[in-house]
Structure 1
């Protein structure tokens, strides 16, 4: 009940009724797996460069319903950060203005829960933009795949250190790597992780 009160208070902060649908009950058995490439790891000062997402419905990844955009940064990319996100200035020549990119993303996500790997960071980055553009932080439920993996392994393994690296989880779940490291591929691989872990949990 208290959670609903907080959501209603947030909903009232919206600058436009156009996005009230973000607060609606999500469609059953639907999720969006999402990943962002950014200029750095500080949501307060860094910016989003690209966003990739894919729709998950009824235990299937809908490859025909993907989202993949580049976002125009406010300044030139630091050459050092290119080593991390692999995006050059030339890759962003046709990038969208942040406001347009965020509007398109919100229309794609709707009220669905968002699945991701360390998704708290991605949501913090996106929320920096949504707070400014529509008046509220991203209100969607967040589902962390590394947390699901941790819970799964803790049930079957002895107490001790658990490696939660992306590649480690992929290898454990026997999920194929898609090659090129970018936001959309990472979102698709994360969706595969989520479904495999979800099915493992249901089979217990």
Structure 2
């Protein structure tokens, strides 16, 4: 084996059908200047074995769609991933995914192909999106050799941007849902968390329109400015 072959990362072993599906996945569309209502959004939540971005694995994926200014309940996604080497850790007390659920899960490559077909070219919303983005990116690379390039917007940043007078230090999803009087269902379940995140996002989109921020592209620009001001105020 040559040195270059040794250094080159190995590609996932995909069968012909999986390779064909991978080749047919649409690429991401850039954020547009049309209205927020005109954009199809996919709201994503992951349950994982833990919070280590380099070691832990995705166990389940939940996603819902916001389209035409509402949650489209005909477009929902849920998968539990099979992990043959999974050993239950402390996180099982949070997400409740025991060995039997993981053993009955989908082949990760197929589940992730299903997810990316569901997402299509849409941008993604998540609460603490950086974590979901990095965990999903690694899962896609490891299982499919796929590079995730879809735009992510973090609902955890969007909420304080649009509500500067609300003081919620280190606010989590439960804090913001309680603030707006939303009734969260089964928490720490990927599909339920995706749905309540979508409900929160719709409230925030309504606030954004009232603040004359009515396009995905403008929303991202405002978030970038908010991040810069926040970093400056913290002396970073």
TM tier, shorter chain? Answer: 0.7 to 0.9
- Counting matched residue pairs gives 186
Cα RMSD for the two superposed structures: 2.1
Q: Tell whether the 8 Å contact from 2:83 to 2:103 is kept in structure 1 after alignment.
A: no
Counterpart of 1:200 in structure 2 is 207
- Give unpaired runs (5+ residues) of structure 1: 1-14
Question: For 1:166-204, what per-residue CA distance to the aligned partner results, in whole angstroms no more than 9, with x for missing partners?
Answer: 111001111111135300000000000111011012123
Aligned residue runs from structure 1 range 65-76, under 5 A: 65-76=75-86
Aligned residue in 1 for 2:136: 126
Q: 1:23 to 1:165 in 2, by over 3 A?
A: closer
Q: Where do 5+ consecutive residues of structure 2 fail to align? A: 1-18, 33-37, 212-236
Cα distance in 1 between the residues matched to 2:210 and 2:187: 32
Aligned residue number for residue 9 of structure 1: none
User: Where in structure 2 are the equivalents of 1:50-69 lying within 5 Å?
Assistant: 50-69=60-79
Query: TM-score, normalised on structure 2?
Result: 0.72
Deviation at residue 25 of structure 1 after TM alignment: 5.3
Q: 1:176 aligns with which of 175, 183, 187?
A: 183
Query: 1:99 & 1:147 partners in 2: Cα distance?
Result: 31
Larger radius of gyration: 2
* Within-5 A mapping of 1:1-204: 17-19=23-25, 21-24=26-29, 28-154=38-164, 156-157=165-166, 162-204=169-211
Deviation at 1:125, TM superposition (A): 1.0
